[in-house]
Structure 1
Amino acid sequence: MSKPKPIRLGIMGFGQTGRKIYELASQSDDIEVVAIADIGAPEILHYLLCSEVKNPDQHTLEGNFLCNPRFRSRMMPIDRPAEMPWDVFGVDMVIDATGNFREKHFMEDHLRSGAPRVLNRSLPRDGIDRIVIPGINCDSISAADRMVSAGSATTTALALLLDILSDRFAIECASMTTIHSYTSDQSLQDYAGSDFRRSRSAAENIIPNTHEASLWIGQILPKFEGKVITSALNVPIQDGCLLDVNLVLTDTAVSVDDINKAMRDSVARFPGVVAVAEDPIVSSDVIGNSSSLLFDIPGTIKAGSNTIKTLSWYENLGHAARLLDVVRLYAKLDAAEEAA
């Protein structure tokens, strides 16, 4: 039997998430990144990639092509979905890794430019075909889906935690705060922006922020509709995020050990996606971890009769890995449709 053809992937946005997607694809045998859209100079984008990957010598720049032992990726100086000729490159799917084009009309621009399907690395701003969280609602996908979101790193971590624990315990409501590394849209110096607090220096402050996971968690997990509030604190670190979740349970008999056992047991159900940390780790220990939820066993605390506080870790590498998981899910579905 002949080997299946690799999935031809396009990436728009070669920032931190885009580079992690590219690195993971270069280490796989089933995905080829054929085109990258980013207005950054190819020499600088190559330089940034090589500063992060484990084997920089394997990544070379040959004219306008970023090359590795597995594939060549054409670099295109384009930053708008409507301007990128995806059809020229014969892509099977596009990942919009910019974090900027979250509205439906921008995703439609990708489709009009020749992408058969577009996957957004961020939560959408309006209605699209589907939000897919690997391990939770993968069975719901359809070959007819054209505009898809894989949520966000925070949303995925929260959804996994709620899904795992609600299988064993009745949860009345939950409150989540992500202690999040600063992001590329924040200024390192005080600089007037559209939001008062986010106009302050990301390098010097803990900055309270909103988080949109609560707007979408009910779509991912319907039983939690209207039962979850979410917020964020952006802190002056570059990598590694902490999910702080308070759960109000119906059963007052649930203990810290019960919660920790449920999370340990979940690792077999979500291989490579959920993990547990038995040691008292800190944020820098999470860097390079590709799981979407690293549950902190020592961080579980019971407060009062029915409130449990949990801590979990994650970083962008895990989200990049889940984005590629979603790409593979749709490629498998399309192959099955073609074979039928």
Structure 2
Amino acid sequence: MADKRPFRVGIMGFGQMGRQIYDLASAADDVEVVAIADIGEREILHYLLCSEVADPTRYKLEGNFLVNPRFRARLMQIDRPAEMPWDIFSVDAVIDATGRFRDQRSMEEHLSNGAGRVLLRTLPLDVIDRIVVPTINGAAAQASDRMISAGSPTTTALCLLLHGLSQQVAIQCASMTTIHAFTSDQALQDYAGSDFRRSRSAAKNIIPNTHEASLWIGSVLPAFEDKIMTWALNVPVQEGCLLDVNLVLEDGTVGVEEINSAMCAAASQSPGVLDTVEDPIVSSDVIGNPASVVFDLRGTIKAGGHTIKTLSWYETLGHAARLLDLVRLYGQLDQQEAKA
């Protein structure tokens, strides 16, 4: 990177995902966060960041700037994309980490205010330029893409699992249930919301929930269009999620050993993104793991002639890392276009 400037990134939303992205960027040498938009008080945002990271002494609050040994990020107390002047920061990309502004209009507001492109940390509400999981369909990305989704932690984990297995095993269809940590949009006490079950306390209930991955998975893996059913169970755990996937295979002779072997091979092709584990881990053991999915070799079970059950683990840090991979991917495409 000695002859290239770092990719300049803005972050909208400094919740858990936004803080993880910032922390990872501060340890890299090719990305710098130059501006952060969040409605929170800057002292509280700094406090929350320092409460989570391994070395809080690296982060200082200097006036309106969040500072680390690599770069300074301007803190802007702003709530909506239309209010954020990205143009004055010359950002290459904005990562919308709020999970709120998923519609095309909100993404266009980021672009109109000076963002080179917008990367969503979750699935979109509308048709956008592309949904990208870099190690699966990154080759399809184009420098002309402006509105991009990185999927979601669950969607990415599921795509990596299906992609890895489908290299060696023919899959007819599958059903996925994510046993998911509770989220910040859930109420800790029973509180009337837009959905009956999600109005119940996240702190003391297992709450069935729908999941959108099945609607969008064909955008990343066309071969699985209309072949995957997805569901979620939000549980009273703050971090760490379990991906429970039941696969219906075409070949009834495929067993546990072949499935585990396929995932080990896939992990060797995507180091740091897809991992495997033989130890009998639980959800807290995956906290701090930057892989997008950790396949549990002990969790593979065959039931009947064609059904295989698999277990995998993940947490949001892996998705934060993939968002920065996406920044790099598009930054490199821009550089190649500039040289052409």
- TM bin, normalised by shorter chain, reads over 0.9
Work out the CA distance in 2 between the residues paired with 1:300 and 1:261: 11
* Cα distance in 2, alignment partners of residues 216 and 282 from structure 1: 29
User: 2:81 matched to which residue of 1?
Assistant: 81
AA aligned opposite 1:143: A
Please give the secondary structure, in 2, of the residue aligned with 1:300. Answer: strand
Structure 1 residue identity aligned to 2:17: T
Do residues 102 (structure 1) and 105 (structure 2) align? Answer: no
Partner amino acid for 1:154?
T
Q: What are the Cα deviations for residues 108-132 of structure 1, in whole angstroms up to 9, with x where unaligned? A: 0000111010000000011000000
Residue 336 of structure 1 aligns with which residue? Answer: 336
The CA distance in 2 between the partners of 1:73 and 1:302, in whole Å, is: 51
Aligned to 2:213: 213
Q: What is residue 58 of structure 1 aligned with on the other side? A: 58
Deviation at residue 279 of structure 1 after TM alignment: 0.7
The answer on whether the counterparts of 2:131 and 2:151 sit within 8 Å (CA) in structure 1 is yes
The 1:270–1:2 alpha-carbon spacing in structure 2 relative to 1, beyond 3 Å, is closer
State the shift of 1:2 in Å: 4.7
Residue 10, structure 1, aligned to residue 41, structure 2? no
CA distance in 2 between partners of 1:224 and 1:89 (Å): 40
* Cα shift at 1:318: 0.1
Please state whether the residue corresponding to 1:100 is helix, strand or coil: coil
1:129 aligns with 2:135: no
Query: Which residue matches 1:283?
Result: 283
TM-score by length of 2: 0.99
State how far apart, in whole Å, the 1-side matches of 2:37 and 2:81 are: 9
What letter matches 2:106 in structure 1? F
The residue aligned with 1:247 is 247
Gaps of 5+ in 1: none
Question: What is the Cα deviation at residue 23 of structure 1?
Answer: 0.1
Give RMSD over aligned pairs: 0.8
Counterpart CA distance in 2 for 1:35 and 1:80 is 14
Question: Aligned residue for 1:265?
Answer: 265
Q: What SS class does the counterpart of residue 136 from structure 2 fall into? A: coil
Which region of structure 1 is more displaced relative to structure 2, 2-11 or 148-157?
A: 2-11
The farther-off stretch of 2-11 and 172-181 is 2-11
Within 5 A, what are the aligned runs for 1:1-340?
2-340=2-340
CA deviation map 1:277-330 (0-9, x unaligned): 101100000000000010000000000011000000000000000000000000
> What whole-Å deviation, never above 9, does each CA across 1:52-98 have from its counterpart, x for those lacking one?
01110110000110000000000000010010000011111100000
Moved over 3 A (4+): none
Following superposition, the deviation at residue 264 of structure 1 comes to: 1.0
The residue identity in structure 2 corresponding to 1:261 is S
Give distance in 1, aligned partners of 2:166 and 2:148.
26
Supply the distance in 2 between the matched residues of 1:136 and 1:145 (Cα, whole angstroms): 17
Amino acid at match of 1:256: V
Distance 1:331 1:228 in 2: 32
> One-letter code of the match for 1:85?
P
Give the AA of the match of 2:97: A
Q: Is the 8 A contact 2:277 2:297 kept in 1?
A: yes
The CA distance in 1 between the partners of 2:293 and 2:187, in whole Å, is: 28
Tell me the distance in 2 between the aligned counterparts of 1:5 and 1:218: 36
SS in 2 for 1:298: strand
Residues 144 and 256 of structure 1: CA distance in aligned 2, closer, same or farther (over 3 Å):
same
8 Å CA contact 2:124, 2:149 repeated in 1: yes
SS of residue paired to 1:122: coil
Percent of matched pairs sharing the same residue: 69
Give the superposition deviation at 1:3: 2.4
Q: Distance in 2 between matches of 1:2 and 1:268?
A: 30
Whole-angstrom distance in 2 between the partners of 1:170 and 1:24: 37
- TM-score, structure 1 as length reference: 0.99
Distance 1:134 1:269 in 2: 13
Unaligned runs of 5+ residues in structure 2 are none
The separation in 2 between residues aligned to 1:262 and 1:59, in whole angstroms, is: 42
**1: CA distance between counterparts of 2:165 and 2:49?**
38
Amino acid at match of 1:181: A
Structure 1 distance, partners of 2:234, 2:2, is 49
Partners of 2:141 and 2:215 lie apart in 1 by 20
SS of match in other structure, 2:135: coil
- Which amino acid in structure 2 is aligned with residue 69 of structure 1? P
**What is the distance in 2 between the residues matched to 1:134 and 1:143?**
14
Residue aligned with 2:134, SS = coil
